[in-house]
Chain A
């Protein structure tokens, strides 16, 4: 009988502990979570070589779910070469977090590709520093604009792709590059 009593007591004690510990969650409103990794904004800054005003292409989606993106796609000038730099921001943070820094820190895992529609007379070329493996990162580039034309200009940020695939270092995004797409934004560009 003594054993039974001990078991009963122990069990009751355990039960009480469980009930109290489990019910101690407070019922306060939950804490809001702002997505930390979200990229809300892509800025493409194009500065004409030899001087001139910088042109800003912007894709901004503060909800990050595609509902109401803001897209700014100004016209470019024919027969001009632009010095370009892409910038990824999380504008939900205050001040805005510059994700480009992260991309550069993890340069071997990232590459930005610029895809130009055939109808658009523009040629992007990687400039800027290479990663530790000697491959381009793609954050900095130059964009040579030819005649007046119009077409899509797509910016794709690939994470953990194979940067050694032939053509990748020239900016060809073949399926062999693989990896996963972190950013994919298309601007409808007009060259005047």
Chain B
């Protein structure tokens, strides 16, 4: 954008002949963005027909001097805005302010800047992925796309369940905000992927830390802000269709979106996508039962009048995901056999069928939002959202029960969010907000399997205030504070002997309600108070280098899984027990961002340190021998943790070549026990070389090399158990190695594409080949790494049509 502005600037300077006249009048004023009242830098203010023009400074100010008395016509334009003209009769010095409306293509970024998340003027350490980059992942998942950001990795269950990890932390420690609605989709589970259709996103911002307090105070790891395509305020119809085909999985996806907008501000929006994939293939074998089906739709209708508006939207994501058959095992002896086998036990021919084990998840979001700009105050907004998450998990079951889900949970969340953006105080941009949440979890009793998560009601109330202050040229400060109250009221059946073994009959006798056979009904009730805060500063140097420093503290109440989990997980053959005595975690994170451009070289360096008190970890603690054999028992423990690391990205371009490089390092330790934290992403480097030529229909060809090293810092969670030797019949003590990490791997990925412009439509063709060399590898951050290799070569063809 700056480049464009500079060009324009030069253009104006050189093409206008400044005429000498005996006129002394002046016009000055300010040009601001109509959406958020932010100053517009680089807008051109011209006197039509007089060959006079100036350029607004970074505060949006302009001044044209030496104008003669008389009728003048002012024209204001900006590279990304609709131009505006105004005629006046000038007889004295005048101040004239302009409010400009951004063009469609820039609209998302503007809204992001002003109304949603302002990552320009505050001290958040953040990165963003734009539409063009996101479209490459049209056939993949949110987590896959986010991995292209340095410092973001993913925790996978197989290849289709991808959970983002931000600077070493994931699940409940990462907030996902979809179109200003915080997702409540049973995000506590490591095998629960966020319910977001990547095709519905126009851009995604990853905030590394808890500085986005308006979305929640519990972002110990960070916040992912997903924004859909916004409708412009003009008469237009915009559409886009993307078709994908992929060789691995022998399927593909289709996604289409349509926005119809009117200059009156009225708009309606449709977006939908379908995905069908069969079993994936590792280089040496078929990954049986890894097919996937997705059906997503989103609809919206709204009226946007600049100073007020109302909008309703509905989103549905529905996915069926097969889970590698070989990952469903019995007891610890099966686990040892699986680890030693090095190859999945169940390998069948390719199929589109999805059998047990599988997940079927449906998530729906209804949102109604309205805003009103108040004179001399700012903008008041009110948003109500309702989310319903239905999760069905089908297990390998006996006696024809395979069609009955082993888990059937329904989570409903109502959220009321009211916010006042107060901008009338010079230099300050402040936000005050209140959030109320009512959540109900219902576990269907017809599964015939005891509830993993009990029925509960949870209510939360949050209040926050944030402000950003422009101190002087280059200097910005911001601060915020938030308080959340959280109360949970659960009804849970414990096996009586379990309740007693855990000592709860002594600790929590007040929760006991009554017994039913060998189970005891209890009513655990807990309240949590959480305080979070952020403070930061940023300084922009004369050469546009920017240095950001941010301190944030987040506080997270234990999630229902950490409190109540109680059951057998077949994928890691372990018994997992929650802990009613857990407290909230509190993190203290310091982050620095340093970014800049020197001619053709750009860089972004983000070091950080995160200290977390009462960090909740899950680890094996003993063995239980049941009628099914022996199982390790995983229990939660609270400790103090410390993470530090650095995310770096850099790019260099010369002629038609561009080199870009990302790397990330994180080190996480349990400082009480002085051991590494589990699932810390290993050091990884990604280098890309791209050759592009605009003249050849935007042709590009790109080769990416991705190196993931072996993680040498991992906790020793190995456990010893007596396993019967099936030949001698003797019990032998075996150390079950669930800790060792896979070797380093290197992948090559290729992509290339062309654009064709037709009258009003544009067709883009892209070819992508992932894992070109069909490399065999396993990834530490895949929970199914014990059972099978990762996927092999995948060639994809993508056709994109914009109209």
Complex Cα distance A61/B627, Å?
7
Instruction: Apart from A32-B521, A33-B493, list 5 A-B contacts with CB within 8 A.
Output: A11-B310, A30-B443, A68-B497, A99-B398, A152-B731
Asked if A78 lies at the interface with its beta carbon under 8 angstroms from chain B, I say no
Cβ contacts under 8 Å, B442 to chain A: 25
Q: Is the CB of A37 within 8 A of B398?
A: yes
Q: Is the CB of B628 within 8 A of A181?
A: yes
| Partner among B301, B334, B368 whose Cβ is within 8 Å of the Cβ of A15 | B368
Asked if B543 lies at the interface with its beta carbon under 8 angstroms from chain A, I say no
Q: Is the CB of A116 within 8 A of B448?
A: no
Q: Is the CB of A42 within 8 A of B627?
A: yes
Cβ contacts under 8 Å, B724 to chain A: 115, 152, 154, 156, 184, 186
Contact string against A for B residues 286-310, beta-carbon threshold 8 Å, 1 for contact and 0 otherwise: 0000000000000001010000001
Q: Which residues of A103-134 are within 8 A (CB) of B?
A: 105-106, 113, 115-118, 120
Q: Is the CB of A184 within 8 A of B333?
A: yes
| Partner among B384, B445, B518, B628 whose Cβ is within 8 Å of the Cβ of A33 | B445
CB distance from A181 to the nearest CB of B (A): 3
Q: Is the CB of B518 within 8 A of A160?
A: no
Q: Is the CB of B728 within 8 A of A65?
A: no
Complex Cα distance A156/B627, Å?
10
Asked if B459 lies at the interface with its beta carbon under 8 angstroms from chain A, I say no
Q: Is the CB of B497 within 8 A of A181?
A: no
Cβ contacts under 8 Å, A64 to chain B: 495, 626-627
Complex Cα distance A159/B370, Å?
57
Complex Cα distance A186/B776, Å?
39
Complex Cα distance A179/B334, Å?
8
Asked if B447 lies at the interface with its beta carbon under 8 angstroms from chain A, I say yes
Cβ contacts under 8 Å, B340 to chain A: 175
Asked if A147 lies at the interface with its beta carbon under 8 angstroms from chain B, I say no
| Partner among B440, B445, B628 whose Cβ is within 8 Å of the Cβ of A183 | B628
Residue among B301, B345, B454, B513 having the largest count of chain A Cβ atoms under 10 Å: B345
Binds A, one of B215-223, B323-331, B757-765: B323-331
| Partner among B398, B412, B628, B730 whose Cβ is within 8 Å of the Cβ of A118 | B730
Cβ contacts under 8 Å, A31 to chain B: 445
Closest A-B pairs by Cβ, 9 of them = A181-B330, A36-B448, A117-B729, A184-B629, A178-B345, A180-B330, A66-B626, A173-B726, A31-B445
Q: Is the CB of A7 within 8 A of B310?
A: yes
Given contacts A118-B728, A159-B398, are A33 and B366 in contact (CB under 8 A)?
no
Cβ contacts under 8 Å, A72 to chain B: none
- B368 (CB) vs chain A CBs: closest residue: A11
CB distance from B802 to the nearest CB of A (A): 29
CB distance from A76 to the nearest CB of B (A): 15
Q: Is the CB of B626 within 8 A of A33?
A: no
Q: Which residues of B113-143 are within 8 A (CB) of A?
A: none
Cβ contacts under 8 Å, A69 to chain B: 625-627
Q: Is the CB of A8 within 8 A of B310?
A: yes
Cβ contacts under 8 Å, A102 to chain B: 398-399
Residue among A32, A62, A105, A106 having the largest count of chain B Cβ atoms under 10 Å: A32
Contact string against B for A residues 160-184, beta-carbon threshold 8 Å, 1 for contact and 0 otherwise: 1010000000001111001111111
Complex Cα distance A67/B447, Å?
24
CB distance from B579 to the nearest CB of A (A): 17
Cβ contacts under 8 Å, A36 to chain B: 401, 448-449
Cβ contacts under 8 Å, B457 to chain A: 27
Q: Is the CB of B399 within 8 A of A65?
A: no
Q: Which residues of B307-351 are within 8 A (CB) of A?
A: 310, 312, 328-331, 333-334, 337, 340-341, 345-346
Asked if B519 lies at the interface with its beta carbon under 8 angstroms from chain A, I say yes
Given contacts A32-B516, A63-B497, A118-B729, are A183 and B627 in contact (CB under 8 A)?
yes
Given contacts A15-B368, A19-B414, A35-B449, are A92 and B396 in contact (CB under 8 A)?
no
Asked if B101 lies at the interface with its beta carbon under 8 angstroms from chain A, I say no
Given contacts A14-B366, A182-B628, are A7 and B330 in contact (CB under 8 A)?
no
Cβ contacts under 8 Å, A35 to chain B: 448-450
| Partner among A18, A30, A151 whose Cβ is within 8 Å of the Cβ of B366 | A18
Q: Which residues of B621-637 are within 8 A (CB) of A?
A: 624-630
Complex Cα distance A65/B304, Å?
59
CB distance from B188 to the nearest CB of A (A): 20
- B326 (CB) vs chain A CBs: closest residue: A178
- B448 (CB) vs chain A CBs: closest residue: A36
Q: Is the CB of B399 within 8 A of A33?
A: no
Q: Is the CB of A66 within 8 A of B625?
A: yes
- A180 (CB) vs chain B CBs: closest residue: B330
Q: How many A residues are at the interface, by size bracket?
A: 35 or more
Residue among A4, A7, A152, A183 having the largest count of chain B Cβ atoms under 10 Å: A7
| Partner among A41, A42, A63, A159 whose Cβ is within 8 Å of the Cβ of B495 | A63
| Partner among B337, B386, B517 whose Cβ is within 8 Å of the Cβ of A18 | B386
Complex Cα distance A132/B328, Å?
25
Q: Which residues of B641-659 are within 8 A (CB) of A?
A: none
Cβ contacts under 8 Å, B498 to chain A: 63, 65, 67
- A109 (CB) vs chain B CBs: closest residue: B398
Asked if A185 lies at the interface with its beta carbon under 8 angstroms from chain B, I say yes
Q: Is the CB of A33 within 8 A of B451?
A: yes
Cβ contacts under 8 Å, B399 to chain A: 37, 99, 102, 105-106
Complex Cα distance A34/B445, Å?
9
Asked if B737 lies at the interface with its beta carbon under 8 angstroms from chain A, I say no
- A34 (CB) vs chain B CBs: closest residue: B517
Contact string against A for B residues 443-479, beta-carbon threshold 8 Å, 1 for contact and 0 otherwise: 1010111110011010000000000000000000000
- B337 (CB) vs chain A CBs: closest residue: A175
Asked if B501 lies at the interface with its beta carbon under 8 angstroms from chain A, I say yes
Q: Which residues of A49-78 are within 8 A (CB) of B?
A: 59, 61-69
Asked if B84 lies at the interface with its beta carbon under 8 angstroms from chain A, I say no
Cβ contacts under 8 Å, A65 to chain B: 495, 497-498, 575, 624, 626
CB distance from B566 to the nearest CB of A (A): 9
- A105 (CB) vs chain B CBs: closest residue: B399
Q: Is the CB of A11 within 8 A of B448?
A: no
Q: Is the CB of B517 within 8 A of A32?
A: yes
- A4 (CB) vs chain B CBs: closest residue: B303
Cβ contacts under 8 Å, A183 to chain B: 627-629
Asked if B491 lies at the interface with its beta carbon under 8 angstroms from chain A, I say yes
Residue among B368, B401, B451 having the largest count of chain A Cβ atoms under 10 Å: B368
CB distance from B263 to the nearest CB of A (A): 14
Asked if B266 lies at the interface with its beta carbon under 8 angstroms from chain A, I say yes
Complex Cα distance A102/B399, Å?
6
Asked if B397 lies at the interface with its beta carbon under 8 angstroms from chain A, I say yes
Q: Is the CB of A117 within 8 A of B730?
A: yes
15 A-B residue pairings within 8 Å (CB atoms): A19-B414, A22-B412, A32-B517, A33-B445, A37-B449, A67-B501, A102-B399, A117-B728, A154-B724, A160-B346, A180-B329, A181-B333, A184-B330, A184-B629, A186-B724
Cβ contacts under 8 Å, A27 to chain B: 457
Given contacts A67-B498, A68-B497, A152-B730, are A184 and B628 in contact (CB under 8 A)?
yes
Complex Cα distance A105/B400, Å?
10
- B519 (CB) vs chain A CBs: closest residue: A32
CB distance from B216 to the nearest CB of A (A): 21
Complex Cα distance A156/B729, Å?
12
CB distance from B533 to the nearest CB of A (A): 33
Cβ contacts under 8 Å, B625 to chain A: 66, 69
- A88 (CB) vs chain B CBs: closest residue: B627
Q: Is the CB of A61 within 8 A of B626?
A: yes
CB distance from A43 to the nearest CB of B (A): 12
Q: Is the CB of B448 within 8 A of A33?
A: yes
Q: Is the CB of A181 within 8 A of B331?
A: yes
Q: Is the CB of A7 within 8 A of B398?
A: no
CB distance from A68 to the nearest CB of B (A): 6
CB distance from B294 to the nearest CB of A (A): 25
Cβ contacts under 8 Å, A40 to chain B: 627
Q: Is the CB of B495 within 8 A of A59?
A: no
Q: Is the CB of B401 within 8 A of A120?
A: no
Asked if A139 lies at the interface with its beta carbon under 8 angstroms from chain B, I say no
- B329 (CB) vs chain A CBs: closest residue: A180
CB distance from A111 to the nearest CB of B (A): 13
Cβ contacts under 8 Å, B626 to chain A: 61, 64-66, 69
